[in-house]
């Protein structure tokens, strides 16, 4: 841009010099003064144009088009129009080109290096560079927002953007985020997550002070520190590092295409959004099928097509995405994209109702859940279908009734036994049943987590729920806990804890004598006496079993 401006100025100056040479001296002097005045005026106008152009950076779609039309009408003739068009072309060229150039331009805008200083434009282009694969852009934007915030909103967005940069592998951001987690700035912090992020930053080459890591570690148990170290060992060496906060250990590949779709829609780049959705579908992600169906049902980036929406919702449901069940039920109910089928609609309304259980604890939240997953403009046309209301009432009857029926229904939902399968809804109902006095529910939930773990945290929750069932006096849970602690089966081997649980199970009639003797041989007499004392206290279990 500066080069173009220089060339244009040089041409103007050369023309002025030639004209001055052809005029008499007195007229030449007057002409030179006039040219100087015109040049200063043009320079001021170009400065105004530059600022107006930078204002376009954070506008997209129709808003940008209207602004461009206004600018072209305002500067509709002469060199100012040429300069305006060159600046518009400059912006479009950067936006469509290498995102690294976009990042470098954002740096110049931030610092006023050869371009007008513009913090808002700089943050926008930093984040856009991040959206297009330059995670350092996220980090630069986060530092701008956190170091010189324009308000509380900047602190919140800055924290989220910093986390995104750390998650995408910017080592400086990992260190920064770890320190902020420990300090609880700008979001609520966590010593555990701060400890893990600092370990990860160091593993990736950052200089991290031993005292900072030690400070966070002092607030953690040795088990927590070891768990964090294992997570970091899994993370290092991967091109895209797994998210350490707030999700589980293993990196969720769906995060990649979903972030790409959000970014593309934010910048109205439909081709990029559709390519990202296609990548998600090719990877077999049912959420990608659901989002594709929404695109066709709502006409986002494609022509509206209810038949294709029905096809993709069906595929998503087959893949286990029960949020799609709600939209599928409405298509059956209306006969859009398929034949009208009230029986099928009723079935999928029930599946949708179970999704509401998985999405909200409170009954009052369920209608809000439903409205959030309705097609756009739905409530402008009608209220909720009565069949869906019936299923919501069915949920209420199950939850408010006999907790043993709630437990049995949860198992049927977990296994797909005569009801739509929904593991998350089953999990919540098992928790409810357990809290309402059915320890078998905690036992079943614990085994579900342990036998089909998705994340390593599921093993932790599995042991926790087995412990809840054991403390409530459920003998199979007490036996299972003793066996697992003795063998180190999906839990750290602890002979002391195993002995405590086996003593309790033996007292309650469990067939554990052989295992109890085996574990007892690995303990000293003093340790066995301490374990017996804990077992005799009944509810006063060791802290790590709570």
**How does pLDDT run across 146-199, given as a tens digit for each residue?**
998 877 678 888 888 898 898 888 999 999 999 988 887 666 668 888 898 999
- What mean pLDDT value characterizes the chain? 81
Burial (CB count within 10 angstroms: exposed 0-12, middle 13-18, buried 19+), residue 274? middle
- Nearest alpha carbon to residue 500 among 518, 487, 519, 514: 519
Average pLDDT over residues 392-414: 90
**Where are the alpha helices (H) located in 472-521, listed in sequence order?**
475-487, 495-507, 513-520
Indicate if the alpha-carbon torsion angle 204, 209, 211, 216 is positive or negative.
negative
The single residue listed with the structure tokens 């007499």 is: 525
Q: Predicted confidence band at 360 (pLDDT cuts at 50, 70, 90)?
A: low
pLDDT band (50, 70, 90) for residue 58: confident
The whole-number average pLDDT for the span 404-427 is 89
pTM confidence score: 0.59
Query: pLDDT tens across 474-510, in order?
Result: 999 999 999 999 998 888 889 999 999 999 999 999 9
Whether the per-residue pLDDT at 406 is higher than 60: the answer is: yes
- Half-sphere exposure in the Cβ direction for 259 (13 Å, CA): 17
Q: Does residue 352 surpass a pLDDT of 70?
A: yes
Per-residue model confidence (pLDDT) at position 173: 94
The yes-or-no verdict on residue 544 having pLDDT over 50 is no
**Residues 175, 165: contact at Cβ < 8 Å?**
no
Residue 17: its pLDDT value, please?
Answer: 27
What does the pLDDT read at residue 430? Answer: 94
The pLDDT tens digits for 210-248 are 999 998 888 888 888 888 888 788 767 553 444 443 333
What percent of the chain clears pLDDT 70, i.e. is strictly above it? 81
pLDDT at 362 (0 to 100): 62
Tell me the average pLDDT across 441-452.
90
Judge whether residue 67 has pLDDT over 50: yes
What's the mean pLDDT in 434-442? 94
- CA 95 from chain center: how many Å? 25
What is the predicted pLDDT for the residue at 21? Answer: 31
The pLDDT assigned to 255 comes to: 61
pLDDT at 450: 87
pLDDT number for residue 455: 56
Mean pLDDT on 423-427: 86
Contacts by residues 230-234 (CB-CB < 8 Å, ≥ 24 positions apart): 230/456, 231/196, 231/456, 232/196, 232/199, 232/200, 232/203
Q: What local confidence, expressed as pLDDT, does residue 361 receive?
A: 52
pLDDT grade, residue 374 (50/70/90)?
Answer: low
Long-range contacts of 244-250 (CB under 8 A, 24+ apart): 244/167, 244/193, 244/196, 244/197, 244/200, 245/163, 245/181, 245/190, 245/193, 245/196, 245/197, 247/455, 248/454, 248/455, 248/456, 248/457, 249/455, 249/456, 249/457, 250/454, 250/455, 250/456
Which residue, among 100, 110, 106, 187, has the nearest Cα to 146 in the 3D structure? 187
At residue 141 the predicted structure's pLDDT band, cuts being 50, 70 and 90, is very high
Q: Contact at 8 Å (CB) between 481 and 274?
A: no
Closest residue by Cα to residue 50 from 117, 113, 124, 107: 117
For range 274-289, the mean pLDDT: 89
| 359 band by pLDDT with thresholds 50, 70 and 90 | low
For residue 256, say if its preceding peptide bond is cis, omega within 30 degrees of 0: no
What are the residue ranges of helices labelled H in 267-360?
A: 270-282, 286-298, 306-318, 323-334, 342-359
pLDDT digits (tens, 9 = 90+) for 119-129: 989 999 999 89
Which pair of structure tokens corresponds to residue 14? Answer: 């050369």
Cα dihedral 216/221/474/496 (nearest 10):
170
Mean pLDDT, range 321-341, rounded to an integer: 90
Name which of 13-17, 47-51, 67-71, 91-95 the model is least confident about: 13-17
pLDDT at 542 over 50: no
More confident of the two residues 387 and 511: 511
Distance between first and last Cα of the chain = 66
- pLDDT for residue 326 is more than 70: yes
């Amino acid at each position: 841009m500066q080069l173009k401006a220089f060339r244009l100025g040089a041409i103007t100056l050369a023309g002025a010099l030639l004209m001055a040479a052809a005029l008499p001296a007195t007229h030449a002097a007057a002409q030179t003064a006039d040219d100087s005045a015109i040049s200063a005026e043009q320079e001021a106008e170009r400065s105004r144009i530059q600022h107006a152009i930078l204002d376009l950076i954070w506008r997209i779609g129709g808003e940008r088009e209207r602004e461009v039309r206004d600018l072209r009408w305002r500067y509709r003739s002469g060199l100012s129009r040429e300069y305006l068009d060159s600046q518009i072309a400059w912006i479009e060229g950067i936006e469509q080109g290498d995102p690294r150039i976009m990042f470098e331009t954002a740096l110049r805008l931030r610092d006023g290096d050869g371009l007008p200083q513009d913090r808002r434009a700089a943050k926008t282009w930093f984040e856009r560079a991040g959206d297009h694969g330059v995670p350092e852009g996220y980090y630069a934007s986060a530092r701008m927002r956190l170091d010189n915030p324009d308000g509380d909103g900047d602190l919140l967005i800055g924290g989220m953007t910093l986390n995104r940069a750390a998650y995408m592998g910017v080592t400086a951001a990992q260190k920064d985020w770890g320190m902020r987690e420990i300090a609880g700035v700008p979001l609520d912090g966590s010593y555990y997550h701060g400890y893990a992020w600092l370990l990860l930053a160091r593993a990736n080459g950052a200089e991290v002070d031993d005292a900072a890591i030690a400070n966070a570690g002092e607030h953690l148990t040795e088990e927590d520190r070891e768990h964090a170290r294992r997570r970091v060992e899994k993370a290092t060496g991967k091109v895209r590092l797994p998210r350490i906060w707030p999700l589980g250990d293993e990196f969720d590949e769906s995060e990649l295409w979903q972030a790409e779709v959000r970014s593309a829609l934010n910048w109205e780049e439909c081709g990029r959004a559709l390519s990202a959705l296609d990548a998600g579908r090719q990877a077999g992600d049912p959420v990608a099928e659901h989002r594709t169906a929404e695109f066709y049902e709502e006409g986002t980036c494609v022509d509206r097509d209810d038949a294709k929406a029905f096809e993709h919702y069906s595929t998503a449901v087959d893949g286990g995405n029960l949020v799609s069940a709600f939209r599928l039920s409405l298509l059956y109910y209306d006969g859009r994209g398929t034949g009208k089928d009230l029986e099928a609609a009723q079935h999928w309304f029930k599946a949708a109702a179970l999704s509401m259980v998985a999405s909200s604890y409170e009954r009052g939240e369920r209608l809000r859940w439903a409205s959030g997953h309705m097609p756009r403009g739905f409530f402008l046309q009608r209220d909720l279908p009565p069949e869906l209301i019936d299923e919501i009432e069915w949920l209420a009857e199950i939850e408010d009734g006999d907790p043993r029926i709630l437990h049995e229904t949860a198992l049927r939902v977990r296994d797909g036994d005569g009801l739509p399968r929904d593991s998350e809804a089953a999990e919540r109902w098992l928790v409810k049943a357990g809290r309402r006095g059915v320890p078998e529910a905690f036992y079943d939930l614990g085994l579900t987590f342990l036998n089909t773990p998705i994340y390593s945290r599921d093993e932790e929750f599995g042991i926790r729920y087995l412990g809840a069932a054991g403390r409530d006096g459920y003998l199979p849970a007490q036996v299972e806990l003793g066996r697992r602690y003795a063998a180190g089966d999906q839990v750290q081997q602890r002979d002391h804890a195993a002995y405590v649980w086996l003593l309790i199970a033996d007292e309650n009639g469990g067939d554990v004598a052989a295992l109890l003797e085996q574990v007892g041989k690995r303990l000293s007499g003093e340790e066995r006496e301490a374990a017996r004392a804990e077992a005799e206290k009944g509810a006063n279990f060791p802290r790590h079993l709570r």
